[in-house]
Structure 1
Amino acid sequence: MTKVPPLAGELVLDAPSAFGDASRDMGRMVYREPGAVLRPASIQDVGRMVALCREHRIPVAAQGAGHTTYGQRLVGGNGLAIDMRTLAGIEPVRNNRVVCEAGALWSDVVITLAEQGFRFRGGLTGYLNLTVGGTLSVGGISPNYQCGAQVDATARIQVVTGQGHTLWASAAENPDVFTAALAGLGQVGIITQAELALAPLPRRVHTWSVPYSTAADAFQAMRTIMTQDLLDEVYCTVRPPEHGTHPTFLVQLAFYEVDATPPRNVVDTLPTPIEPEHYDIKTYLDHVTLDTAVIDGWPVWENRIKPWFDVFLPDSSAEDYVTRTIDAMTAADWSHPHGQGFVLLFPHRADRFRRERLRVPRQRGDQFVWLFDVLNSGSTTPSPDEVEQMLSRNADWLDAACEVGGTLYPIGSQPQTTQLWQRHYGPDWQNVLNTKARLDPAGILTPGARIGIHATT
């Protein structure tokens, strides 16, 4: 029997509730039961267990809030699942920075920062009950079009590598680990702490919701706002067609009032909307927590399948691709009849993405990159045909996106294959494999993504 090192936390071997949670993710389409679940009480617990697992070639998966949708966070067989949510510490702000443990929820981070007069500079995902380590492992995309991804506002990270070594990494300290771990899908190490860059908390947030009947008008409106460089948030939610009508493209805008008041007549330079825009003023916390409250209030949402599709598109092809895709969407793609889903479009300045492992279309710095998300949900008891149809749809949509220069944002539902990852990483594929072989030589980390060679699960 493998001798377990001394632990401050708990190694669970037989609790059905722990194994049930560790065996699934939000997609509800893939299930893998681990051999044990670690609830660490210290970062040392993580390092000791990863070192043990490396010695015995036991696969390991760090797990946060579980918001991948096709088994990326799972580990089966004799594997070890590490519930990172027990590491949720948030230190006091110092020098416009904050250090958080990886299991801290963003919903707790934003409240803690607001109490001290700050916000995270990198922007927030729409849903906040996600862990810091989870979003930094995939990238973290927000409506804040001027700041890149959350990984771009991360100054340092602490990582437990696949060798079991615990170290801090930044652009100057262990830069190879810093590069490979941020948006690295958990392949070279487990992020255990992160030092985040901060900005002053806005006194108020001014918001506009501007409805359009065509993608062309919505794209023009968003490009106009971003070119003027006057606001803080720009994105679009697409509402499904009703009673034979066209979809509605709601362009969402926000201005953070810190020192200056918002610019006057924000919408006057935009295409004429189909209805008057809706204007509102909120506190920062009310603004950023709105979507979380909506989703958490949906009945049976947790148990619906969620075959999500997420792709980055270059500016040159984004409008045509989005228009064609939305025109072809079925009732199931729109989450009918229950309506528990989103279709979203997030534009960003291309030059603000600087982390190598987050694959965005290569463009000039003055161009835009667009994240297009179809975050639909289906039934709670899906048939194999329903799942297969959604996976086939995603594969076709991804092929079409790649043909026009798009790249995958790998949080959604795509069967992970070597061919998919070779296409995803392109000329950097061999570097990805070499770095993993060096930092995770036994191939034990995050086997659900199926990148490179992993220990048997």
Structure 2
Amino acid sequence: MAKNGVVIDLTSMKNGNGTGIRIASDGSYADVGGQQFWIDVLNATLGLGLTPVSWTDYLYLTVGGTLSNAGISGQTFQYGPQISNVYEIDVITGTADFVTCSPNNNSDLFYAALGGLGQFGIITRAKIPLEPAPKRVKWVRMLYTDFSDFTRDQELLISKNGRNDNKALNYLEGSLLLDQGSLDNWRSSFFQPQDQPKIISLITKFRIVYCLEIVKHYDGQTKTTVDKDLQQLLKGLSYLPGFMFEKDAKYEEFLNRVHSEELKLKAKGLWDVPHPWLNLFIPKSKISDFNDGVFKSIVLQRNITTGPVLVYPMNRKKWDDRMSAVIPDEEIFYTVGLLQSSGFDDWRTFEDQNKEILQFCEKAGIKVKQYLPRYTTKEGWVNHFGSKWSTFQKRKLQFDPKLLLSPGQRIFNNNE
């Protein structure tokens, strides 16, 4: 997994050697060990009526791991990624120093480690801000056959993103329903059996259907107004008449939605298989070109896509540019995730599709940034970090001068 390097199993720190989960007496934050899963953080905070605000779709990931990348989901447009929701972290650097850092204390390491791909140190503890937790959610999906309508509505909804605005949405993601795929995957188990025939008919006719997914939180105080607020938010949207679907769910049931589908796939032996994923950030100005050149062309023509395909927008202002994570230089950009599952004998076919997508973007002048990036040359990494490269190099020299944390990713060790 990391040639000539090491792989850190943070969960081993759960055996009495790491920080657990401690909630501040005033409820303002959770002090969390880097080895803790986000599902453990959720369960601990909900017991006190509290919750973090920024999540990943899948909660069985470590806190330290996601903070070393960014941590994104449908809340990112409003709250920013998980790295934008951290007060303080502990880091073991490549120089074997144990450092507590924050925006006001050892700030260079704080900004380096958040989104730093583990290149500067291992995040062993984080102080995560908390807010009062809602009780339940209104969970809505709407279908589109026109990509312009789909993206226009997404961008309209994320523009209404006041953090403390009770009338704003709390979650927004988009996905594709493909003619070549099966509705029997974790993104579509949402739909009721009686609705599936007309959805399948729509997909068969158009080959690609775009699905907009939104969530509105509520509790005892807002229970009587949530439906009215939701209808006001949906007013004027261009989804297909008759293709809006709604569920009411517990807050924790919604956040942990992927795990329930994981259990179904594990029972069928379809979970522990290769996952040749491709995750990209696309500038808003090029998302239509991406749809035409990738979704409508490469993906449909190759006809191999066997997992969820996500596409939804984020607001650049919710990210902190001082951190190591890299995003497009536009105020609105989209995340695209092709979350493939393959067999052990055909994963190269999916890798070839990923390469073709990246080659298309390069030829079309689409300046994509990879999320969970993987490059095989120094040039690739330099292009990825762009204007941040010189800062990234300086921080590397400061916190890991012997390149102990480099092997495997080939950012600095290109002779592997």
- Give the TM-score normalised by structure 2: 0.83
Aligned mates of 1:398, 1:168 — CA distance in 2: 40
Describe the SS at the equivalent of 1:154. coil
| Structure 2 match to 1:381 | 345
Describe the SS at the equivalent of 1:176. helix
2:320 is the alignment partner of 1:354: yes
| Structure 2 match to 1:129 | 60
Per-residue deviation at 1:351? Answer: 0.5
| Structure 2 match to 1:185 | 117
Aligned mates of 1:184, 1:217 — CA distance in 2: 36
Please show how residues 398-413 of structure 1 align to structure 2 within 5 Å.
398-399=361-362, 403-411=365-373
| Structure 2 match to 1:368 | 332
Q: Is the 8 A contact 2:68 2:118 kept in 1?
A: yes
Q: Is the 8 A contact 1:333 1:376 kept in 2?
A: no
Please show how residues 39-438 of structure 1 align to structure 2 within 5 Å.
74-77=1-4, 79-88=5-14, 89-95=20-26, 96-121=28-53, 123-144=54-75, 145-229=77-161, 230-241=168-179, 242-243=203-204, 245-258=206-219, 259-260=221-222, 261-262=225-226, 263-265=229-231, 266-273=233-240, 275-298=242-265, 299-330=268-299, 335=304, 339=306, 341-355=307-321, 356-363=323-330, 367-382=331-346, 386=349, 389-399=352-362, 403-411=365-373, 414-438=374-398
Number of aligned residue pairs: give it: 371
Judging changes above 3 Å, is the alpha-carbon distance between structure 1 residues 233 and 391 closer, same or farther for their aligned structure 2 residues? closer
| Structure 2 match to 1:40 | none
Q: Deviations over 1:147-180 (max 9, x none)?
A: 1110000111100000101011110010000011
Describe the SS at the equivalent of 1:134. helix
Unaligned 5+ segments in structure 1 are: 1-73
Q: CA RMSD in A?
A: 2.3
Q: Is the 8 A contact 1:322 1:372 kept in 2?
A: no
Judging changes above 3 Å, is the alpha-carbon distance between structure 1 residues 332 and 191 closer, same or farther for their aligned structure 2 residues? farther
Q: Is the 8 A contact 2:304 2:350 kept in 1?
A: no
- Give the TM-score normalised by structure 1: 0.76
Per-residue deviation at 1:235? Answer: 1.1
Q: Deviations over 1:364-385 (max 9, x none)?
A: xxx32211111112222237x5
Letter in 2 for 1:245: F
Q: Is the 8 A contact 1:237 1:249 kept in 2?
A: yes
Per-residue deviation at 1:276? Answer: 3.0
Q: Is the 8 A contact 2:150 2:239 kept in 1?
A: no
Unaligned 5+ segments in structure 2 are: 15-19, 162-167, 180-202
Aligned mates of 1:387, 1:226 — CA distance in 2: 32
Q: Deviations over 1:42-87 (max 9, x none)?
A: xxxxxxxxxxxxxxxxxxxxxxxxxxxxxxxx3334x443321022
Q: Deviations over 1:68-122 (max 9, x none)?
A: xxxxxx3334x4433210224212344410011111111111111111111112x
Aligned mates of 2:410, 2:297 — CA distance in 1: 31
Q: Is the 8 A contact 2:92 2:98 kept in 1?
A: yes
Describe the SS at the equivalent of 1:159. strand
Per-residue deviation at 1:282? Answer: 1.1
| Structure 1 match to 2:183 | none
Per-residue deviation at 1:446? Answer: 4.2
Aligned mates of 1:368, 1:93 — CA distance in 2: 35
